[in-house]
Every structure is written in C-alpha cells, then in structure tokens.
Structure 1
Amino acid sequence: MTETTAAPARRDAPPSMIERMTLILDAFNGPSARLTLEDVARRTGLPRSTAHRILDQLVRQRWLAHHTFGYGLGQRALGLGGQDGGHGKIREAAAPYLHELQVTTGLVAHLAVLDGAEVFYLDKLGGRLASSVPSRVGGRAPAHSTALGKAMLAWLEPEQVDALLGTGITRLTSRTIGELGTLHQELHRVRQRRGLAFERGESFPGIACVAAAIRGAEGPVAGLSLVGDIHTPLENVAPLVVTAARETAQVLFPGSAAAGRGGRTRRPHADRPVPEHTWSTATMNRLLAVDGRGDWM
C-alpha cells in the first residue's frame, strides 16, 4: 500500500494589512528566532513579493530587525513581550568597563545602542564634565552625527545604512556630515582605524567624542564612547575605548571571533592611570591619516 503526501493547501491571504502584519509577526516563535524571506513566505502563505514588502515596512518601524542571517523581532516587538531588547544584559556586561573608562580618564562615558537612524543612550557616567555634555540616559541623537552612531553604522552593510537613514541626512552643526556619500567614506575610514570613530563638534559645538562598537556575530549590538571638550586629546584614550568594547563583547559573546581576540577577559581596574601615549605616535598617525589628511571628520 502506498501513501501520497499532499502539499499543504495555500491559504488565502488575509484581506487587511494589519492581519498580514500580524501573520508575519506570529511566524517568529521567540526573541531569538531568525527567519529568511523564504521562511516567512512559507510559514504565512503570503506571496514572496508581498512578504518582502511588509517585512521592509516592519523593519523601518522597528517591529522587526534585519540581521545578516535573516529577520528577527525588533525592539518594539520585544518591548511588547516584556523584554528590553537585551538592553539589560548589555548594560550589565558593559558596566564595569564603562566605570573604568570614566574613572581612569575623568571624561564622560556613554553606552548606547543603534535604534533606527538614531543612537539610544543606555548609560552615562561622568564627573565634573557630565552636566556640560547634553546627553541623558533614555535620550537619542542622530546616528550620523555622533561617534557612537558612526562606530556602529560602520559594521553594517551599505544597503542597511541607506535603509536606516533614508534619502537624506540633516546637519546639526557646520561640521556635521550632510551627504550619504560622504558618510559612507567616513564609515570606511572607521573600519580602517580598527573601528575607531571620532567626532568634533558634529552634534554640539565644543564637544568631542571617540567611540567603538561592541560587536557580535551578527554585527554591532552597542557602542562605548568617551566625551570631552573640543580640545581633549582623544587619540590618547582611544585605545582604552577599543579595549573596553572588545572585552564587553567577549562577556556578551564568549568565544565569538567577532568579539575580538580570544583569551581570558581582563578584569577592570578602575585605579589605573591614563598612559600618556597608549599607542605609539607612529601607530596613531597611521590610524588617523587613513584619509590622506591626518584628520577625522
């Protein structure tokens, strides 16, 4: 006796956009679920073109996130489920390194995540300079105008950057990058500088910042930065930011190659003095001169 397996009957697509969006969101069975476009179309019974169009809209509205290995639930969807998008875990992992950065340098230290075209501040530590830096926990800033934003955008695909920022970006000051083409050039320089991103007066006049991304296997998950006034020699403390970001990533993603070099994670020592030159002058000159002018934007 032989048996035949009938192909599942294709369901009629729900008539309303809300029903179709709900159908797609219901296809994700947990916070860590990753689905390709084909997976979504198969699970929902929607035509591939329809699923793709709705997925793009859900990503733009942060109900979903588009990762290297597929789509996953975004910050809005995770928030409705009582989750914080992993922010609590990120804050816990970064806390000792953020504290060490602030105490060691005396500068203002930030922890932030990328939320669409903006950075969203998860933590801020600062001494006497804190009140002069116009940022706050829970606040936002345009990603293209901040070192934190550029540090994270640098590890996304160019198409993802374009999708997040749209067709145009605005200038906050005379030094803010105002064109997508120029921003892509700067993001290339960030990658050449081992992930170091700088900004001087791009968000607010008189404020300077250096940042590095905390990276996982699927890309940047957050960023750390140090902020001072426009005259702060950020090149001296830049390696500390890179190290703190890499070691935070090792705590979040043990054994991940994207998190940086392997080995035991160093325990923070907040009483370590700031070295006068943490990298050699030749190394810093090479890193900062990748655009041929010895300057950062």
Structure 2
Amino acid sequence: MQGVGLLQKGFQILDLFSDERGPWTQVELARETGLARSTLGRLVRFLVARGYLMETRGRYTLGFAAVDLGRRAQSQFDLVDLAGDLLEQLAQATAETIILTVFDEARGCVTCLAQIPSSQGGLRVFESVGASYPLHSGATSKAVLAFLPERRRASVLDGDLTHVNSRAPSGRDRLAAEIEAVRDQGYIVTHDETYVGVTGVAAPILTPRGLPLGSIAIAAPSQRVDAATIAEFVARIQDAGVELATRLAAPAGAGEP
C-alpha cells in the first residue's frame, strides 16, 4: 500500500499543472498539496528524472514525458480514424486480414483496435476487436515490445514466454534475438504463435519520441504465404507504419485548408 500512496502523491503533484497555472516552485507545491517538504522533494526529483517534470531556475513545468503521454493518449482515440485509409489500402492490395493494435501500458499487452477481414474465399484469419495479446507472443505484440524502454523489455524477457499457441517454439534467447532484429529491420514475421497455421507480418507505429503506440499487421493462412508474398507484405506494412508515424508527428491541423 505504501507504493500506492506514493503514486497518489505523485499524481497529486502532476494534477496541479494546467493551462491556467504557470510554473511552480517546490515551496508552492508543498503549500498547495500539503505534503511534507522532504516527501515532496523526493517525488519532484523522481518526476524530473523520469521526464514528467522539468526544472528551470528552481521552477517546475511539465516535462516532455508528460507531454508525450498526453499525445499518446490523444493519438489512441484518433488512431482508427488516422489509419483508416491505410488499412483499406492494405486490405485491397493484399486481400488478407489487416489488424490495427494499440499498446495497453497498464495491462502490459497489445489490444486490437480495428480489423478488416480477408476478402479471400476459403480459409481466412479473423481477429476480434478488443482482443488482447501478451507482449512476447505474435507479430503485433513483438513489433511493440521491440521499441519499449530497455527496462520494460527486460521484464518481459524475464517472465513467462509461453506463446498463446503453447506449442510454438519460445525462449529467452530466441525472443531477445527477435527484438534486436525488429529494432534493426523495423518489422517482424511470425508463424503459429497465436493461431496454428497463421503467419503474421507487423510493423510498429512509433511516436515522435520513438516509443510504440501500437502496431499495424497483415495476417494470413500460412498455406497462402511464400517468400515472395512475405517480401511484398513487409514492404507494404513498413510503408504504412512510416506513414502513420509521419501523421502522428504532424502538427494539429497540418494539411487542412
């Protein structure tokens, strides 16, 4: 419970920063929150170190991490609309299932925000909107995991790495190598990790700070996928990921008449 109490006090400090109020000194923060000066000083130093507060000549404002958190929250609300035309283009070009996910930091997973089912006859991959997957399993998840802060990646590597499809090969060394490959290449290809007989190709959707907001993916029955098909999927999914990152980085209202 002590950790929860400190968290509540941290939010109590952050909640004081608003459009209507300029920078705060530690004396002002202590007076407004009623926190002991020693407690407040420790919390402020922690928030500064994490980038949630920024200090200039003894006065504090919200830092870049807080700004980025707000941007990511807003982006999640807008992401389906922002990516809609790209999902449609991918669906038309590949005729396979297209999936858009978002990183759920609180639960440590990725969640499906939207999907366009395959237009192919016979076998098709179908994903439910709202379905969630652990960060170590599947293309949509690993595309996100690879770009999380190092400490978060390490915690996943040290955890249970059994895939959603428990028969798929797993292991710490294997996942560590995949993370490095995704960071180098900007995409991931997986087979059978969530469903038997399914190949997934995914790329991350990155914020301007290089943190993963979610991922965009193509999922198809493995029997319809060969090396040439995967190469085509990779090129298309990377282009879509880059375009989404560009849109996220654009100032509000850019491109509007």
- TM-score (norm. length: structure 2): 0.69
1:140-199 CA distance string (max 9 Å, x none): 0122111111112222233221235653322333324232x3212111111222x01110
- Looking at structure 2, the residues matched to 248 and 72 of structure 1 have their Cα atoms a distance apart, in angstroms, of 19
Aligned residue in 2 for 1:230: 222
Deviations 1:8-48 (A, max 9, x none): xxxxxxx965543322112224799xxxxxx9xx8765263
| 1:173 pairs with 2:166 | yes
- 1:89, distance to aligned residue in structure 2 (A): 1.2
Within 5 A, what are the aligned runs for 1:73-222?
A: 86-116=75-105, 117-128=108-119, 132-163=124-155, 167-171=159-163, 172-179=165-172, 181-193=173-185, 195-218=186-209, 219-222=211-214
1:176 to 1:132, Cα distance in 2 relative to 1, 3 A: farther
Cα deviation, residue 235, structure 1: 1.9
Please, which runs of 5 or more residues in structure 1 have no aligned partner? 1-14, 33-38, 57-67, 256-263, 266-297
What is the CA–CA distance in structure 1 between the aligned matches of 2:231 and 2:18, rounded to whole Å?
Answer: 39
Q: What is the match of residue 14 of structure 2?
A: 28
Task: Name which of structure 1's ranges 119-128 and 163-172 shifts more when overlaid on structure 2.
Answer: 163-172
- In structure 2, the CA distance between the partners of 1:19 and 1:187, relative to structure 1 (3 Å rule), is closer
1:69 offset after TM fit, Å? Answer: 5.2
> Matched residue pairs, number?
215
Q: CA deviation at 1:72?
A: 7.1
* CA separation of 1:189 and 1:235: change in aligned 2, threshold 3 A: same
Give the counterpart of 1:48 among 26, 42, 47: 42
Q: 1:248 — aligned with what?
A: 244
Deviation, 1:245, is 1.0
Q: String of CA shifts for 1:263-282, please: whole Å, max 9, x gaps.
A: x99xxxxxxxxxxxxxxxxx
Q: CA RMSD in A?
A: 3.9
Task: Extract unaligned runs of 5+ from structure 2.
Answer: 20-25, 51-62
C-alpha distance in structure 2 between counterparts of 1:176 and 1:50, whole Å = 45
TM-score in terms of structure 1 length? 0.61
The answer on whether the counterparts of 2:97 and 2:124 sit within 8 Å (CA) in structure 1 is: no
Q: 1:85 to 1:161 in 2, by over 3 A?
A: farther
Paired residue type of 1:157: P
Residue 202 and residue 253 in structure 1: after superposition, are their counterparts in 2 closer, same or farther (change >3 A)?
Answer: same
Question: 2-side partners of 1:237 and 1:111: how far apart?
Answer: 15
Counting aligned pairs with the same residue, the percent is 20
Asked if the contact 1:177–1:202 (Cα under 8 Å) also holds between the matched residues in 2, the reply is no
